[in-house]
Structure 1
Amino acid sequence: MKMIYAFRDQEGTWHGDPDAAVLGPAPGYGPLTYNPPPGSPASVNPFTGQTLHVLYADTHLELGPVHYLLDTGVTLPASWHVHELLAAPYEPRTAAPATARAAQR
């Protein structure tokens, strides 16, 4: 199913799964001005108010529960990963130090 699987923020950083394998033709690309409802948990998301540049295509990624309206008028569902990034307050994850990764083994 065609879905939004990655987006680039205004700083130029990609989020989601920009390297995901796509099925079929080259992915589509479009703008999404992200303005969740005021007072919702997503309204304190760092992407609020930004015009995000999204990639969409048919993929094998897990489909999320939300559809987004692109600035072009196209409505598309998002992958679960993209939904998690946009739908709730988000703090970028940092990689664990090598010592912590080694301790988890």
Structure 2
Amino acid sequence: MAKITGNVLLRCVLTIALIVSVSSAVAPASSTIVCNVQMTDLLKCLPAITGAHPPFPTHSCCKVMRKVNLPCLCRYKPELAKFGANPVAAMAVPKKCGIKYVPKC
């Protein structure tokens, strides 16, 4: 497995965990759009970034990662550590999904 360096991927993927946690308390997930995708779609990636040994991101998670506005997700980075995301796993999701361009957050 290739080594991933930098904070960029971590910031973008960890944002998913924050959005899921914060937005579900504010509005129903099915009606909430965050960074160009439905909240329910972002939930598809949650298993791939949580726990000590998260599974490989699913095909549906990768589809979401390709549609989400990654620079938009960067805004949520400061809150992510509070929601139990595995930083190593979170950093790996975009690369595992084949995303080549990830903005610097």
Q: TM-score range by the shorter chain?
A: under 0.3
Higher relative contact order (CA 8 A, sep 6+): 2
Give the alignment's TM-score, normalised by structure 1.
Answer: 0.27
Larger Rg over CA atoms? 1
Q: Which one has a larger percent helix, Structure 1 or Structure 2?
A: 2
Give the alignment's TM-score, normalised by structure 2.
Answer: 0.27
